[in-house]
Amino acid sequence: MTVDYPPQPSQSALPYRLDDPVLHTRSTQPETMTASVAASLASFHAYLRSSKRILALVGAGLSASSGLPTFRGTGGLWRNHDAMELATPEAFSNDPSLVWQFYSARRAAALCAMPNKAHYALAELAKCMPEFLTLTQNVDGLSTRANHPPDQLLHLHGSLFSLKCTSFYCDFQEDNNFTHPLTPALAIASEVSAPYRHIQQADLPHCPKCNTGLLRPGVVWFGEPLPWRVVQAADDFISSGKVDLILVIGTSGTVYPAAGYVDRVRMQGGKVAVFNIDIDESDSEDELSEVESTGSYANRTTWTFEGDAAEWVPIALEPIVGHVELPQDSSGERSSLR
């Protein structure tokens, strides 16, 4: 489906207050790396080349460089509503107009963001390696828009761009619907200074199959179980053979569900690489001698790369995917991260 990108919303139109300080990260250019970091990267590259089956677990930190704030970040408000309180089945049942306007604003913000180099690097890794799987906790659709092969991409928390019918008797579900706004009435969700206006239920998205049920965003709300099909597919991938390497990107390897997958890979004898702006102490990589750390990985179990995942991941995966550049738009200009 062709994506029609809406005009970039201003800060007040986004679903959160973007009042966090600018993200500053360590340089990952090879010429500026310390000797220990370069040795760690060389060791990781050696192990990466030998790996046959890889699992990537992706969190919100992957999309931070694309301009999307984390869901639970500082100032998580939309028009003075607590964003977490809007992400529940009860909120949708009580006021579908309010919840749909919140999610319409989130869809607009995600569409105005662009996939970054890490999204494209993971997509290329999937194309190069049949036994590679990405399990994303993000709902922003950026991995899909980076042309990540869909059969190697699992959405643990659903997607802003999936829709499903709320009627008990209807099984309609649609994925990758990038239309914005979904109905003309929802255009007000992206208006900068317009006061909140209630939208009649008849003007909200309705099911095209049963013609009566109200559509809802295809995300996992608080209080709902994770999608069984996705959890089962991830379990099947891990159970079907040794996973040599798990990439923990933009999230912590010590918090569930990530910790559960990390533990299972380690129990199989696999190794862990963490890419995140903040590295937990328990995620820290192995203490190795100078000789061991210059390229050998035999005694390593963990690598940690602290900084912007959008910068680190392409460098880390370069031996397999090659040098990653952002695609150019139709005018020949480099796509910008908005």
The residue from 157, 180, 206, 323 that is catalytic is: 157
The closest of 95, 109, 114 to 190, measured between CA atoms, is 109
Q: What is the largest CA-CA distance in the chain?
A: 69
**110/187 Cα distance (integer angstroms):** 15
**Residue 151: count of CB within 10 angstroms of its CB:** 10
C-alpha pair distances (Å), 101 with each of 82, 105, 154, 199, 217: 14, 6, 26, 9, 11
Eight-class DSSP state of 184: G
- At residue 133, the 3 state secondary structure works out as strand
Q: How big is the chain, counted in residues?
A: 338
155 is catalytic: no
Q: Which of 165, 184, 162 is nearest to 174 (CA)?
A: 162
DSSP 8-state secondary structure symbol assigned to residue 173: E
* DSSP H or E stretch at residue 57: strand 54-58
> What tokens appear for 33 in the block?
């790396």
66's tokens: 């694309």
Q: Which residues are catalytic?
A: 157
